[in-house]
């Protein structure tokens, strides 16, 4: 549990205060970090149809039309759970056109999860959502290059929920470089992957936990390579975002999903 003392898990608390959900900023064509202000560009309606907003203040993606892949730290223990509402089909959370909301029936949290690594979970829904799903990487082939992140999140560290789905690109950061930054020595190679700019300015943030980090595969289709997990603050210099390395857990995720 060492990293929980210094690292900021990117979930949002649900209470009287507004939910905090991540927001992101686009990158320049030269692959250099933009001005260090956490912001973002709006995703078009239907651009990322697999994106899911969860009522506890996290994100997720449709693994199947009835199962959401999210972060372990967003959910409780494995078992029956009807308390979560998944919202999908909209980029604007206030829009009712095309919006689908479905309750959960069961949560499966990664076996052995204790706050360090293994940060993935599945949520089974009461009924299917008729939207495209996001396939996950099964090898490390796509664990490099530039990734896309998206969420309804905080425009500043500790900020409040955004109405619109925002998107940005972040570059891969090697394990060695990531672990060299202050607060990141506990990174677990093979279970976690880093992405972000040395100068900061672009990042996921509170409330984006559980959301996907994805890129194009060899067939130009979206493929998920990461799950938003933790980071030191949001968009700070020398403090990249840390994501669950999906390919490491692909077989376990598939096995668990088949049993739900």
217 is catalytic: no
Contacts (Cβ under 8 Å, ≥6 apart) of 134: 50, 61, 62, 63, 69, 212, 214, 222, 223, 224
| Active-site residue, from 23, 104, 209, 247 | 209
Structure tokens at 242: 């840390």
209 is catalytic: yes
Q: What angle do CA 29, 33, 36 make, to 5 degrees?
A: 135
Contacts (Cβ under 8 Å, ≥6 apart) of 246: 120, 136, 137, 224, 225, 226, 227, 253
Q: State whether the Cα torsion 196-198-202-208 is positive or negative.
A: positive
| Active-site residue, from 23, 104, 119, 247 | 119
Active site residues: 73, 119, 209
């Amino acid at each position: 549990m060492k990293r929980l003392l210094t690292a900021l898990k990117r979930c949002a608390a649900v209470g009287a205060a507004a939910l905090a959900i991540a927001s992101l900023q686009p990158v320049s064509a030269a692959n250099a970090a933009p001005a260090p202000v956490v912001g973002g560009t709006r995703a078009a309606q239907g651009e990322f149809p697999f994106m899911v907003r969860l009522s506890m203040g996290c994100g997720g993606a449709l693994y199947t039309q009835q199962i959401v892949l999210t972060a372990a730290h967003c959910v409780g223990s494995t078992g029956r759970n009807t308390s979560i509402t998944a919202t999908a089909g909209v980029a604007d959370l206030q829009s009712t056109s095309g919006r689908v909301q479905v309750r959960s029936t069961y949560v499966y949290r990664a076996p052995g999860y204790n706050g360090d690594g293994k940060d993935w979970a599945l949520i089974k829904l009461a009924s299917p959502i008729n939207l495209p799903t996001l396939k996950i990487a099964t090898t490390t082939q796509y664990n490099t290059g530039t990734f896309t992140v998206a969420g309804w999140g905080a425009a500043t560290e500790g900020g409040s929920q955004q109405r619109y789905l925002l998107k940005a690109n972040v570059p891969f950061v090697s394990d060695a470089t990531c672990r060299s930054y202050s607060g990141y020595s506990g990174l677990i190679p093979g279970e976690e992957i880093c992405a972000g700019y040395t100068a900061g300015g672009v990042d996921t943030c509170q409330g984006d936990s559980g959301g996907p980090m994805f890129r194009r595969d060899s067939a130009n289709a979206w493929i998920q390579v990461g799950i938003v997990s933790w980071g030191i603050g949001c968009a700070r210099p020398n403090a990249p975002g840390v994501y669950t390395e999906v390919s490491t857990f692909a077989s376990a995720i598939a096995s668990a999903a088949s049993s739900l």
